[in-house]
Amino acid sequence: MKDNKTEILERNKIDSTYKWSIEDLYISKEAFESDFKKAKEFIQDIKNYQNTLNSKEKILECLKFRDEISKILDKLYTYSHMKFDEDSSIEESQIILSNVQWLFQSFEESIAFIEPELISLGEKFLNEISLDPDFEDYNFEIINLIRQIPHTLSQNEEKLLAKTSLLAFSPSNIYHHLTISDFEFPDAFDSNNKPYPVTQGTYSLYVHNKDRTLRESAYKSLFGTYKHHQNMLASNLDMSFKFLNFYSSARKYESSIDYSLFSDNVSKNFYKNLIDIVKSNLQPLHSYIKLKSKVLGLKKVRLFDLNVSLFDFEKDISYQDSIEIIINSLVPLGKEYIDLAQKAFSERWIDVYENKNKASGAYSTSCYDVHPYILLNYHGNLEDVFTLAHELGHAIHSALTNKNQPYPKSSYSIISAEIASITNEMLLLEYLIENTSDKNEKKFFLNKFLENTRTTLYRQIQFAEFEMKISDLIDNSQPLTAQNLNNIYDNLNKEYYGDLFETDEYSGVEWSRIPHFYSPFYVYKYATGFSCANYFAQRILNEDTASYIKFLKSGGSNFPLELLKSAGLDLESLEPVKFTIKKFIEKLREVSV
């Protein structure tokens, strides 16, 4: 089958070689229904453990039974969402996904008693069982539970907080429905006055276009609409951060940042130090903006100019060729890793091509007892190759974790996940840079690294600082208005991009288009993941692979910063961030020649 950029086929017209082996999850409808029935019965049975968790034997029995149910549910959900994503128009797929989601909700309700009952046993008892060899699979879970004791409320207070959880999601839901469903944008026009429809998706294409008239027109169309609704959007974000402040106060955290960072055991000082180290190294970014202004022939660079590539590269890459390129780039990771990568391709872990009603984008998904899967919509451009390498990183991370960790320690953090996927991208990029003799092609790849660093390190830290500033306002009982949000954001734009960057009436309102702000203090994970991936990639290319593979195998057996330390990478020292900035300077120097 050839890569096809225009024709979208019915799923049954695509060769099975390019479809994922979903039958490895359930060979038949009857097998799926059997597990569904079993899970439903077990969910009722686990309720019998309520008010009985007063001995080590009973606790261990309950935790093992909980995980037995959870594994079945993971498998049911993985299968049902994959079937739905294959073709969302099929009614049966819609029904089974809805049924599994309902079953998951029933399960969460049925096990809600476990944590409060364990916490009620006291810190001394929990410490004791965390050291018991019988609880080895659960020791990290117990340690995490002990950490929560100071932030756990009375039973009635916990019930009251639980009832507010749906309200807390309201600002995010409102934002999604408003900006995705309700916003309509005027057409944009290029330099020949040709109209272009503007949507959230097409805007991202237009701001990469070489035609500056089209970029500016699309920019005014999109951000003009956001600006028109800025007061409502500011009020909505204000409410989201007030909910965050409410939960952090109710649970006795010092601040909203402390509350948000708690789950990964990351300190507020680390968060602030991360911002500080990037802020003290903005000059390389300013130099990159200067290069952009020079290559693009601009006196001043504006927000809609930032995404334009300085060098052109167009090349169709077949799926088979992409496999060869990726495998070659990952050879430094060693035989164990390459064997798994080849299995992913030969055993059909991957759903390759777009078909009618298939989910857009790309992702990796997995459950404990079966190999991971990857969804793609491969069209044959370079970005598709990087997407495949990225998702393969997630898939092999899961495969190595599931093989080497017990189920309770198999779920890893977002920080770890980002490292696993971006390391593959970095190895691929370095391979492409080293294996081209075309000067322009090499500059394109070098510029890709610069862009990745701008958007994933500098830009995400700019977002992280914005979140910190507005959270401080809320924590100090100051309201978020459109005007003060615009001012804060534009001041950061000026700081981060330097004197050659020009703000305008729309640039300050960009905050209103960032959905991540409804998951506060999350974006820093992209910056740390990117930096650690750069650091690991360099070590891998220097033939220090074992510590990285050990990190991938460790899964969720500890907090992410501790797992990194075990792999010889001290993120708290910020050495990976310093290394990435140094690499940015070196690549900038190369591309400027």
pLDDT, tens digit, 9 for 90 and up, residues 53-69: 999 999 999 999 999 99
DSSP conformation letters of 102-119: HHHHHHHHHTTTHHHHHH
pLDDT, tens digit, 9 for 90 and up, residues 77-131: 999 999 999 999 999 999 999 999 999 989 998 998 999 999 999 999 999 999 9
H or E stretch covering 65: helix 56-86
Q: How many CB atoms lie within 10 A of CB 222?
A: 26
Please indicate, yes or no, if residue 370 is contained in any of the structural domains: yes
Indicate the residue type of 565.
K
Mean pLDDT value across residues 214-242? 97
Please indicate, yes or no, if residue 474 is contained in any of the structural domains: no
pLDDT for 5 equals: 45
pLDDT, tens digit, 9 for 90 and up, residues 3-24: 444 578 899 999 999 999 999 9
Compute the distance between CA of residue 174 and CA of residue 171 in angstroms, rounded to an integer: 5
Compute the distance between CA of residue 212 and CA of residue 219 in angstroms, rounded to an integer: 10
pLDDT for 2 equals: 44
Mean pLDDT value across residues 21-50? 97
Please indicate, yes or no, if residue 130 is contained in any of the structural domains: yes
pLDDT for 103 equals: 95
Please indicate, yes or no, if residue 448 is contained in any of the structural domains: no
Domain end call among 112, 135, 160: 160
pLDDT for 168 equals: 85
Instruction: Specify the residue for token string 């204000």.
Output: 238
Compute the distance between CA of residue 389 and CA of residue 337 in angstroms, rounded to an integer: 13
The percentage of residues in the chain with a pLDDT greater than 70, rounded to a whole number, is 99
What are the phi and psi torsion angles at 374 (to 5°)?
A: -130, 130
β partners of residue 9? 355
Q: What is the pTM of this model?
A: 0.93
| Band of pLDDT at residue 74, cut at 50, 70 and 90 | very high
CA-based nearest residue to 368, from 137, 28, 135: 137
Please indicate, yes or no, if residue 74 is contained in any of the structural domains: yes
**Are β-strands 370-375 and 195-196 bridged in parallel, bridged antiparallel, or unpaired?**
unpaired
DSSP conformation letters of 357-415: TPPPS-EEEEETTEEEEEE----SSHHHHHHHHHHHHHHHHHHHHHHHS-GGG----HH
Domain end call among 126, 160, 194: 160
- Angle, to 10 degrees, between the axis of helix 439-453 and the axis of helix 414-434? 160
Residue 7: exposed, middle, or buried by beta-carbon count in 10 A (0-12, 13-18, 19+)? Answer: exposed
DSSP 55: S
Identify the three-state secondary structure at position 299.
coil
pLDDT for 158 equals: 81
pLDDT for 227 equals: 97
CA 531 to chain CA centroid, Å, is 15
Catalytic site positions = 391
pLDDT, tens digit, 9 for 90 and up, residues 233-246: 999 999 999 999 99
Compute the distance between CA of residue 196 and CA of residue 213 in angstroms, rounded to an integer: 12
Please indicate, yes or no, if residue 533 is contained in any of the structural domains: no
Identify the three-state secondary structure at position 351.
strand
| Numbers of helices and strands, H then E, in the chain | 26, 5
Angle at 527 between CA 232 and CA 578, to 5 degrees: 140
CA-based nearest residue to 62, from 112, 123, 124: 112
Identify the three-state secondary structure at position 512.
helix
Compute the distance between CA of residue 350 and CA of residue 484 in angstroms, rounded to an integer: 47
H or E stretch covering 498: none
Compute the distance between CA of residue 539 and CA of residue 548 in angstroms, rounded to an integer: 9
Average pLDDT, the chain: 95
Compute the distance between CA of residue 183 and CA of residue 391 in angstroms, rounded to an integer: 31
β partners of residue 374? 350, 364
Strands (E), 128-284: 188-189, 195-196
CA-based nearest residue to 327, from 344, 315, 312: 344
Please indicate, yes or no, if residue 233 is contained in any of the structural domains: no
Identify the three-state secondary structure at position 418.
helix
Indicate the residue type of 97.
L
**How many distinct structural domains can be found in the chain?**
2
CATH code (residue 35): 1.20.140.70
Please say if the pLDDT value at position 155 is more than 80. no
Angle at 26 between CA 23 and CA 32, to 5 degrees: 150
Residue 118 belongs to domain spanning: 12-160
**Are β-strands 370-375 and 350-351 bridged in parallel, bridged antiparallel, or unpaired?**
parallel
Residues 6+ apart with CB under 8 A from 249: none
pLDDT for 4 equals: 42
Please indicate, yes or no, if residue 188 is contained in any of the structural domains: no
pLDDT for 1 equals: 43
pLDDT for 133 equals: 97
Are 297 and 286 within 8 A, CB to CB? no
Radius of gyration of the chain measured on its C-alpha atoms: 25
pLDDT for 375 equals: 97
Domain end call among 112, 141, 160: 160
pLDDT, tens digit, 9 for 90 and up, residues 183-212: 999 999 999 999 999 998 899 889 999 999
pLDDT, tens digit, 9 for 90 and up, residues 372-411: 999 999 999 999 999 999 999 999 999 999 999 999 999 9
pLDDT for 201 equals: 84
Residues 6+ apart with CB under 8 A from 19: 11, 348, 351, 352
Are 372 and 395 within 8 A, CB to CB? yes
- Angle, to 10 degrees, between the axis of helix 155-163 and the axis of helix 230-250? 170
Q: How many CB atoms lie within 10 A of CB 499?
A: 10
Indicate the residue type of 433.
I
Identify the three-state secondary structure at position 487.
helix
Instruction: Specify the residue for token string 């080293």.
Output: 434
